[in-house]
Chain A
Amino acid sequence: MKKKDIFALIDCNNFYVSCERVFQPSLRNKPVGVLSNNDGCIVALSDELKKLNIPRGTPGFKIKHLLKKYDIKLFSSNYALYADMSARVMEILYQFTPDVEIYSIDEAFLSLVGFEHLNLTDYGKKIQKTVKQWTGIPVSVGIGPTKTLAKIANRIAKKHKGYKSVFNILNHPKTDEILASIDVKHIWGVGPRYAKMLHRHRICNALELANAPQNWVKKRMTIVGLKTCKELKGISCLDLEMDISPKKEIVSSRSFGKPVSTLEELQEAASSYCIRAVEKLRSQRSVASGIMVYIATNPFKDEPQYVNFANSRLSTPSAFTPDFLKLVNKDVETLFRSGYKYKKVGVMINDIVSEENAPLDFFEPSYLDDERKTIMDCVDNINKKRGNNKVTFAKVGTKQRWKMKREKLTPQYTTKWNELPLVKD
């Protein structure tokens, strides 16, 4: 038999809002929301904002009339800040166990196998306290014998203030009662469609799903559903996924602030994302030979729709931006159809190898040995010292009408020297 698993799920509470609050303490106890790309919908809410019955996903402009009345603060999403704070939280988690699966920007699964001799609830409290002190980010900790149960424990840690953000469901005498209190729609891995189906069959809570006939579950919800069902019973079916190999692909894409309909602007935007992606490629000391470009209209608008993508390759791996720009611009031109309002363009670099493993070609000069690398190193150095995109390529244009709308953006407190938080008298 397999060794008994123990998982902890660490989830940052209202992560984006919490990041903003670390550097603007005056936001404490205030209703705060963070908007999605282009200042669209509210994607993160503080508890105070949730209490005003404003659901996640509400477009920012729809609550404009409430901002003054309730002193609501809305912010553009500051991804540079959130990514840095996330990296800090994750780094701290490695102090508590070497086995960490970074599940999303604000969640991680930890394996606590080998720590059974400790009081795990206390260990969870220690994790929670350390992350809070070191970063200012409040987290909830759920501990259980399976990932699915750790998720449920986390939910309980969050909902019931009495547990002070840490809940351990492992060997809990009231496990059945707890499961019976969880609606199937709140179980990890059960989507809204399955939840509806289960409710139709009078399987409404986690306990009922755990006890449902396995054959039936497998037939209706495939092997994935069966695993969920077993996990609810405490049989661990899902392991930590820890893939630390260097990234096999690099993606850079954004939605436009305003729809774009000309080829020129589409090329400008694609070029700017391409520049960013190749820069990331260099920062991980890799070279690549493949690039994919895709363009798309807005599927949520009642307008003619068009989505397409193109793949192209370099003859030898490179990290020289103009090599990729040439391909991207040609591809965008091939993909472009007039008469559509485009919402998004993206580039994805693939076939990535590290500089050391770059194959050599007898007939073509290698990027690593010629002046192309010298030029790019020089550009990167200037940009690092003088701020992003001080030196860039003419192809990105000067107006950038398509650029993402971020009118309420807070400073990049932790990643830019000239935007550090100020301390006063």
Chain B
Amino acid sequence: MKTHKTKTDSSIKEIFRFEKRTKMKRILIGTNISAGFPSPAQDYIEGSLDLNEFLIHHPAATFFVRVDGVSMINAGIHPDDILIVDRALEPSNNKIIIAVLDGELTVKRLKIENNLWSLLPENPQFPAIEITEDMDFHVWGVVTYAIHKMK
């Protein structure tokens, strides 16, 4: 059987390029052929707004993660919110980042002062974490938006 040649495993039959999931709304221009005056707005149709276009600048580098905790509550990041994480962005001072700390993903604000890195929570009940060389730490990505459902 001829399929896309794949050397790794026979059960993967196809490899797609990145698929933009957004469906463009089809705008039916001039579908109404009945007699009468054409819509005066017809000339002004510009398409609809696409949230992906607004929120995601590097699709291949963008991931969604879900918040499980309250340490960033004063930054407007609540439990169960979805964060949009762009790994293409460089972490810098004051950015909210996803960090790997001791093998776990955590969300904090990054503080860089005199080459000293620390992770700051935005909730007084949590301590700041100073990054030292012996720590298992790296930056996983930079948070660009939080999606919060209103109660």
Contact = CB atoms under 8 A, between A and B. Distances in A.
B104 A26 contact: yes
Nearest to A92: B60
Contacts of B5: 103-104
Contacts of A422: 65-68, 105
Interface in B51-82: 58-61, 63-71, 82
Interface string B113-151: 000000001000010000000001000100000000000
Contacts of B69: 423-425
B89 to A, nearest CB: 9
Nearest to B103: A26
B3 A249 contact: yes
Interface stretch (A130-138, A168-176, A178-186, A194-202): A130-138
Nearest to B102: A26
A104 B15 contact: yes
Contacts, number: 129
Contacts of A25: 100, 103-105, 140
Given A134-B61, A249-B3, A425 B11 contact: no
B8 A105 contact: yes
For the residues of B in contact with A, the DSSP-based class is loop
B15 A102 contact: yes
Nearest to A255: B11
Contacts of A133: 61, 87-88
A135 B60 contact: yes
Interface in A56-91: 77, 79, 82-83, 86-91
A421 B105 contact: yes
B37 interface: no
Given A87-B18, A422-B65, A251 B70 contact: no
Contacts of A413: 63
Contacts of A252: 13
Interface string A268-291: 000000000000000000000000
Interface in A369-425: 413-414, 417, 420-425
A15 interface: yes
A106 B8 contact: yes
Contacts of A36: 9, 11
Contacts of B65: 420-423
B29 interface: no
Contacts of A425: 68-71, 106, 121, 126
A348 B88 contact: no
A88 B16 contact: no
B83 interface: yes
A247 interface: yes
Nearest to B121: A425
Contacts of A313: none
A4 interface: no
Given A26-B104, A422-B65, A425-B71, A251 B18 contact: no
Contact of A424 (B14, B60, B105): B105
B12 interface: yes
B11 A88 contact: no
B150 to A, nearest CB: 18
Q: Could you say which of A28, A83, A423 has the most chain B C-beta atoms within 10 Å of its C-beta?
A: A423
B28 to A, nearest CB: 16
Nearest to B11: A37
Given A87-B17, A105-B12, A251-B1, A414 B63 contact: yes
B105 A90 contact: no
A135 B70 CA distance: 27
A423 B96 CA distance: 13
Contacts of B15: 83, 86-87, 90, 102, 104-105
A250 B4 CA distance: 10
A364 B131 CA distance: 70
A373 to B, nearest CB: 14
Contacts of A258: none
Contacts of B58: 134
Contact of B17 (A43, A91, A104): A91
Contacts of A92: 60-61
7 contacts: A87-B15, A88-B60, A91-B18, A91-B59, A134-B60, A249-B3, A253-B11
Interface of B: 1-3, 5-9, 11-19, 58-61, 63-71, 82-83, 87-88, 98, 100, 102-107, 121, 126, 136, 140
A-B pairs, top 8 by smallest CB distance, nearest first, are A26-B103, A425-B69, A134-B61, A91-B18, A425-B71, A91-B60, A422-B68, A25-B100
Given A88-B61, A423-B69, 5 more contacts: A26-B104, A134-B58, A420-B65, A421-B65, A422-B68
